[in-house]
Chain A
């Protein structure tokens, strides 16, 4: 009986397993989490300690990714950099999704005036180019880890609010919601027991894809000098530092750039895979195309 009740999950896993790109994405994401957790153990050198004798060393046995203008090990810095990127990604998506989901629920379930207010606010936020707005906020607040999180959260919550609202609107139309209402259930009970569990799956997909967007935005802010402050290693900032030495020592930019690219690719593949596994019809359609 246990298997039968889990069969939805099993079919989901089966769908997901068939998707090689998604599996690759999931593997890289797991690897990234591993690197983030064990950066101190995996790094051959101290990422902050400068060693001026070894400045701009090309990749070799001692320094697999070479060293930067201060003689710091780029491999170690890339490993440590994943900590900033991944934590910004997870924290921003966590906060933004929570805010967005709550506002989306209010908007979708209540309708009327609250809906109008929230959705016009979302429209107003979307009218700005998002990176520009984040940049302006970071500029006002000043650089730093917390401010980066704030700046990106302010622009990111809107997508969750919109998706959640849409999802709630479609789930709300089901007869079982009306049936629960006619049982005399409270609005809170109906929302938490019947609507949200059936409306939340798209959010998981959007959140996975959202992590990629956030990491890229954080790296962009870092590149422009609004991110975490030196000497903390951060990929965007490393790119900027390497800019001056692009010709003489291209490894300064190549490796952090690759790290950003692979991370974003991995989250995008994972997100696409989750979406396809949850909605097999979508995948069929895409295959036909």
Chain B
């Protein structure tokens, strides 16, 4: 489904003396169709950058991204725009993920309008359908994001993403800015939807328990590199890399 090889992203700064930060330094992995790969690591280790690179929201310094037999990095701008709806991203902060000046209903309708497959009547029906799928109330359509809670907004984001029927979703800490009780709701919703819609997900988080709950396999990232990758059980029961061990040890749980 998705395969990346030797992906690198260096951010450089400075005008005369270039200094570069190796945010992602040679990352390779693959994700099978219908699988959830968890990506864990401390903040600043390059997890989010990997997510953005996969969708080519930023350009990698080098590497290869093969999505469904398509070499994503070779695509021209127009071809990439056509591919985009098939790969979606859910961001950390749901409140900033929605245009504050658009009503919820318009936000959910937006991907459908851009896709252009449905007429306005069809869009209306589909929006109501999506609102129900993610557990919102039809009357939320006429509200603005600031009138909804973080959890509700993340449901809206999910509805937007699902509207396109994507093959692959990058979920970048989708619950880290939510209350614990709401976190569980959103995570379970995502799990259910994944099963029903056969989604393939890259689930990024710094929270090991959350990742374990969501993922089939887990990749551990440290300073821009993947240090260990394996099934959830392998990682939790028989961690090999010293960094994974420290991550698992209770003392690191601050």
A interface, CB within 8 angstroms of B: 1, 4-5, 7-8, 174-176, 178-186, 189, 193-194, 197-198
Contacts and interface: CB of A to CB of B under 8 A. Distances in A.
Contacts of B144: 5, 8
Given A174-B96, A197-B101, A182 B147 contact: no
29 contacts: A4-B142, A5-B142, A5-B143, A5-B144, A7-B147, A174-B96, A175-B91, A175-B92, A175-B93, A175-B96, A176-B96, A176-B98, A178-B52, A178-B57, A179-B91, A179-B97, A179-B157, A179-B160, A180-B110, A181-B57, A182-B55, A182-B57, A182-B88, A183-B88, A183-B110, A184-B81, A184-B114, A193-B99, A198-B100
Contact of A184 (B84, B91, B143): B84
The 7 closest A-B CB pairs, nearest first, are: A184-B84, A175-B91, A175-B97, A184-B81, A175-B96, A176-B99, A1-B142
A183 B100 contact: no
A178 B85 contact: no
A182 B87 contact: yes
B84 A182 contact: yes
A243 to B, nearest CB: 52
Interface string B68-102: 00000000000001111101110111001111110
A182 B81 contact: no
A157 to B, nearest CB: 26
Contacts of A189: 114
Contact of A198 (B83, B91, B99): B99
Point out which of A178, A189, A194 has the most chain B C-beta atoms below 10 A from its C-beta: A178
Interface of B: 52, 55, 57, 81-85, 87-89, 91-93, 96-101, 103, 110-111, 114, 142-144, 147, 157, 160, 164
A185 B114 contact: yes
B99 A183 contact: no
Contacts of A193: 99
Contact of A179 (B83, B89, B143): B89
B214 to A, nearest CB: 20
Contacts of A194: 99
Contacts of A185: 81, 114
Contacts of B87: 182
A178 B91 contact: yes
A203 to B, nearest CB: 15
Given A4-B142, A5-B103, A184-B84, 6 more contacts: A4-B147, A8-B144, A175-B91, A178-B89, A178-B91, A194-B99
Contacts of A1: 142
Contacts of A184: 81-85, 114
B111 A198 contact: no
A80 B90 CA distance: 60
B171 to A, nearest CB: 13
Contacts of B110: 180, 183
A182 to B, nearest CB: 5
A5 B93 CA distance: 23
Nearest to A181: B57
Contacts of A181: 57, 84
A71 to B, nearest CB: 57
A174 B98 CA distance: 9
Nearest to B100: A198
Contacts of B164: 183
Nearest to B106: A193
Given A1-B142, A8-B144, A178-B89, A186 B81 contact: yes
A249 to B, nearest CB: 56
B100 A182 contact: no
Given A5-B142, A182-B55, A176 B97 contact: yes
A194 B52 CA distance: 20
Nearest to A1: B142
B146 to A, nearest CB: 8
A185 B87 CA distance: 13
Nearest to B80: A184
A183 B84 contact: yes
Nearest to B147: A4
A4 B143 contact: yes
A112 B111 CA distance: 29
A183 B90 CA distance: 12
Among A7, A174, A198, which residue has the most Cβ atoms of chain B within 10 A? Answer: A174
Nearest to B157: A179
Contacts of B101: 197-198
A190 to B, nearest CB: 10
A4 B81 CA distance: 35
Nearest to B57: A178
Contacts of B93: 175
